[in-house]
Structure 1
Amino acid sequence: MPALEFRNATEADMPFLIALRNATMSEHLARVNAARDDAAQLARVQALFEHARIVSMNGQDIGLLKAYKEATRWYIAQIQIAPEFQRRGLGRAIIENVLNQASRDQLPTALKVLTGNPARRLYEALGFREVSREGVDHLMVCPPRPDPFPASA
């Protein structure tokens, strides 16, 4: 798999991020009857923008990751991969990167997924389990993974 690169998002990335959100989320938002007009999409892109990282591969922007460390957990606020790059293991690789960091910090990782979003299968395969539900949002948590290289005693 080609190496993924991450960089901080800037205002110049807004057209890409809006198009990415429309391409990846409109179907899921429509299914749960959530707002998906331009203003709602822009608000979601701008939410937690300080944590927005553009994901690129071979110099091409392919996605978005918003993840950050809180006092008691890591939180994945958004992950989106452009449709033409989906089903290649890229989302899994990005999430595993966050899970590995959280495990080094000995913290669980949380995220929310919309009802009916097929990404839930990936999250479950990675060890996330639903812990609560609020409307159409399902909060899922993955415990820290055991250290694959524990210090010898």
Structure 2
Amino acid sequence: MTIGRVWRDAMQGERMSHSKAMATTNNAAVCPPDAIQVLQLFMHNSLVLFFMTVRIRPVEHIDYDWLLDLHHTVYRELIIKEFGYWDDDEELGLFLEAWETKKIDIITKHGNSVGMFIIEKRNDYLWLDEIQIDPQYQNQGIGTEVIAQLILRARKLELPLRLRVLHANQGAYRLYQKLGFRQISCAAHHNVMELS
């Protein structure tokens, strides 16, 4: 099975497995933090989070080469760790599918492009399809700040925010847990998490 097929199957199966996972999840009431509580949590833990230091802009044609390089840089090691191989043609196909069919937003800081994300409104939740931060800008709170902004957006819409994370990406998984996300389903290569 190819990586592309796994991701596409995951997207289709994600809806079905969610209801099954919910049936087996502990039904105890959980009150996840809002974005302000997230900010307070990080300040309490002495982690510096410069809220509202990033800007979001729509993707432009001139971003193509940079985004392709970002995709390969961010994912190569994770994909090899998770799947055991990297296929340039397959990854190019996945990149082109997102480039041609999805609304990509660019994350900037001090005028520099530092990352991207894709957020989609589904029937009853917001789906963070992808978030990538350039490695030279990682561990500076940029991804956390963007996710905090998306949490606020989901709160305004009164919708949960969902995402998926590869099993190999344990750092991201722990970050999402700190932000209040909980796992709602598990597939062969990734977990689906939700903050409601």
> Which of the five TM-score ranges fits, normalised by the shorter chain?
0.7 to 0.9
Q: Measure, in 2, the Cα distance between the counterparts of 1:35 and 1:7.
A: 33
**Long gaps (5+) in structure 2:** 1-49
SS of residue paired to 2:140: coil
Q: CA RMSD in A?
A: 1.6
Q: Measure, in 1, the Cα distance between the counterparts of 2:190 and 2:125.
A: 18
Q: Measure, in 1, the Cα distance between the counterparts of 2:185 and 2:103.
A: 24
Give, in angstroms, the shift of residue 34 of structure 1: 6.0
Identify which of 125, 130, 135 aligns with 1:73.
125
SS of residue paired to 2:83: coil
**More deviation, 10-19/39-48:** 39-48
Q: How does 1:16-55 map to 2 (within 5 A)?
A: 16-33=66-83, 36-49=86-99, 50-55=102-107
Aligned to 1:58: 110
Please state if 1:114 is matched with 2:166: yes
Aligned to 1:133: 186
Aligned to 1:93: 145
Q: Measure, in 1, the Cα distance between the counterparts of 2:138 and 2:175.
A: 12
C-alpha change, 1:42 and 1:8, in structure 2 (3 Å) is farther
Q: Measure, in 2, the Cα distance between the counterparts of 1:43 and 1:10.
A: 19
Give, in angstroms, the shift of residue 35 of structure 1: 5.7
Q: Measure, in 1, the Cα distance between the counterparts of 2:84 and 2:94.
A: 12
Aligned to 1:103: 155
Query: In terms of Rg, which structure is larger?
Result: 2
Q: Measure, in 1, the Cα distance between the counterparts of 2:84 and 2:151.
A: 29
Q: TM-score, normalised by structure 2?
A: 0.68
Greater relative contact order structure (CA < 8 Å, 6+ sep): 2
* Contact preservation (8 Å) 1:7, 1:54: yes
- Identity over aligned pairs, percent: 26
Q: TM-score, normalised by structure 1?
A: 0.86
Structure holding more strand per residue = 1
